[in-house]
Amino acid sequence: MGKGLIEVFITYWPIFLKGLGGTLEYAFIAVFFGSLIGALIALLHLSKNKILSAIAGIYVNILRGTPLLVQMYISYYFLPMAFPSLNNIDKVYYVLLALILNSSAYVSEIFRGGIQSVDVGQTEAARSLGMSASHCMKKIILPQAIKNILPALGNEYISMIKETSLAGTFMLYELMYTKTLLANKYLIWQPLFIIAGIYLLVTLTLSWGVKQMEKRLSVSD
Amino acid sequence: MTEMSEALIETVDLHKNFGDLEVLKGINETIHKGEVVTIIGPSGGGKSTFLRCLNLLEKPTSGSVIFEGNELNNATNLDDHRQKIGMVFQQFNVFPHLDVLANITITPMLEKKVSKADAEAEAMELLKQVGLEEKAHEYPRKLSGGQKQRLAIVRAMAMHPDVMLFDEPTSALDPEMVKGVLEVIQHLAESGMTCVIVTHEMGFAKQVSDRVLFIDGGVVAEEGTPEEVFDAPKNERTKEFLSQVL
């Protein structure tokens, strides 16, 4: 069996810490840029223009209907092949691109759900007062939708923390990648349990935080 | 109303379908300036749809809506016209994330570039008129249904509309709240505001209207003064409807 869990952790904690830092960072980048793109996709999806709406629907379906790992492989291997001029871009960005686009599809559905959860009477009242469509969205609908969107975005970040573990496959330095590093030192099972423990600790803590946020937001009802 | 003044809203052969369902089957009506028109009729007869077509919340399937001489159907400045067509809804639709004052001031400030100070001063004046000045900094969740509806009315008034549309303004209210809201509407009507009111309050309709429209089956089945429609209806369907609600 070799060394114990605690011994391995005490010896190699900086490696795990660096891995966790990578995980949190990649997940944040994915959700942050995913939110920007996702908000746009949601607006397209809700648009009265049927073609734009259909394009957004297809985008969401493809990204949610195929595994993230496949999307990462396509981004990592196919894009530089198809566009040789992209070859001098660091490979990290191809993996991040897949994470961001994948996240944008989920986030767009969060935005769409949040916007649709606001009573249609709110839009009717605002528009009947003569408020423009964009003011109505910015000042009336989104502030009310955010109550449903923020906790859901928190949960998306938590999911993304787990999803980024796939990035280790492409040598991105995140938590799961520490397994590969330590395997070189003949440590096989210990890192797995330590990694699982760290994921669990982080996701449970963040879930608790999201619950608190939900409670806060619902007070103003 | 003594003499016919100029037309404010006109509908020409107004049709509205929801899918296969033909809700409005060609309505030609004129709402005159200063007129108070109430619309009565059975549920599903098309009266709310007709009202909602007047500010294009429902887009007519065919026919046109002409407001102050402008055809609204394809108007590029629909928002400008809507600012002059106030609307009050059955479900109030006050903005829950804004306090009472901001509910009133937000649209004048955004769309008419009224200064905050001016908008608030006017809002306070309007709130005073409907007995809500002490609620100015409350959020709508603290208001009763009647208070929310009075807020919704003054919110529309703050845009200085030329006409007010009411879509069953008291139907969602507890009985004891109805009177206060009707008084506000009556006061508005008496002040010369053009009003189009869809209502189930027959006593109120009789009292406040210059003209009553009975809409059933997607057409104006009967219209006339309150006396004509309520006391001496000619149409069989009007008679039947009134016998059920009076």
What is the SS3 string spanning chain A?
CCCCHHHHHHHHHHHHHHHHHHHHHHHHHHHHHHHHHHHHHHHHHHCCCHHHHHHHHHHHHHHHHCCHHHHHHHHHHHHHHHCHHHHHCCHHHHHHHHHHHHHHHHHHHHHHHHHHCCCHHHHHHHHHCCCCHHHHHHHHHHHHHHHHHHHHHHHHHHHHHHHHHHHHHHCCCCCCHHHHHHHCCCCCHHHHHHHHHHHHHHHHHHHHHHHHHHHHHHHCC
The confidence band for A3, taking pLDDT boundaries of 50, 70 and 90, is: confident
- Distance (Å, rounded) from C-alpha A63 to C-alpha A100? 11
pLDDT digits (tens, 9 = 90+) for A16-65: 999 999 999 999 999 999 999 999 999 999 998 999 999 999 999 999 99
**Interface contact B214, partner A, CB < 8 A:** no
User: Of A143, A99, A72, which is closest to residue B97 (Cα–Cα)?
Assistant: A143
What pLDDT is attached to residue A220?
A: 57
DSSP B96-114: TTS-HHHHHHHHHHHHS--
B61-76 pLDDT tens trace: 999 999 999 999 989 9
- Under DSSP, the state recorded for B124 is H
Q: Which amino acid is it at A14?
A: P
CB A146 within 8 A of CB B96: no
Residue A128 to residue B85, Cβ atoms within 8 A: yes
Q: Which residues of A touch B57 (CB under 8 A)?
A: 124, 127-128
Chain B nearest-CA residue for A140:
B95
Helix axes A142-163, A91-116, angle to 10 degrees: 140
Which residues from B are below 8 Å from A132, CB to CB?
A: 79, 110-111
Report chain A residues whose CB lies below 8 A from the CB of B59.
Answer: none
CA distance A177 to chain B (A): 45
Alpha carbon of B97: minimum distance to chain A alpha carbons (Å): 7
Residues 6+ apart with CB under 8 A from B214: B39, B40, B41, B220, B221, B222, B223, B229, B233, B235, B237, B238, B241
Separation in Å, CA of B119 to nearest CA in chain A: 15
Q: Distance (Å, rounded) from C-alpha A197 to C-alpha A191?
A: 10
DSSP B229: I
Interface A-B, measured as beta-carbon pairs within 8 A, has a size of 67
Q: What is the pLDDT of residues B1-36, one digit of tens each?
A: 445 678 999 999 999 999 999 999 999 999 999 999
* Tokens 């069989």 belong to residue: B236
- Residue B4 has a pLDDT of 61
Predicted-complex ipTM score: 0.93
> Cα separation of B47 and A171, whole Å?
66
Q: Express as a percent the part of chain A with pLDDT over 70.
A: 98
Q: Is A58 exposed, middle or buried (0-12, 13-18, 19+ CB in 10 A)?
A: exposed
Cβ contacts (< 8 Å) between A221 and chain B: which residues? 96, 141
Instruction: Name which of B67, B76, B95, B142 to mutate to probe chain A: the one with the most chain A Cβ atoms within 10 A of its Cβ.
Output: B95
B141-190 tens-digit pLDDT: 999 999 999 999 999 999 999 999 999 999 999 999 999 999 999 999 99
Over residues B115-147, the pLDDT tens digits come to 999 999 999 999 999 999 999 999 999 999 999
How much is the pLDDT for B2?
47
Give Cβ neighbours of residue A213 (< 8 Å, ≥ 6 apart): A150, A151, A154
Radius of gyration of chain B from its Cα atoms, rounded to whole angstroms: 18
Q: 3-state DSSP: chain B helix, strand, coil percent, rounded to 5?
A: 40, 25, 35
The answer to whether B93 contacts A122, with C-beta atoms less than 8 Å apart, is: yes
CB-nearest partner of B107 from A130, A143, A221: A130
Closest by Cβ to B82, choosing from A119, A127, A143: A127
CB contact under 8 A, B91 and A121: yes
Span B211-235, mean pLDDT?
96
Is A119 close to B110, i.e. CB distance below 8 A?
A: no
- Cα-to-chain-centroid distance, residue A97: 11
According to DSSP, residue B133 is labeled G
* DSSP structure class, residue B228: I
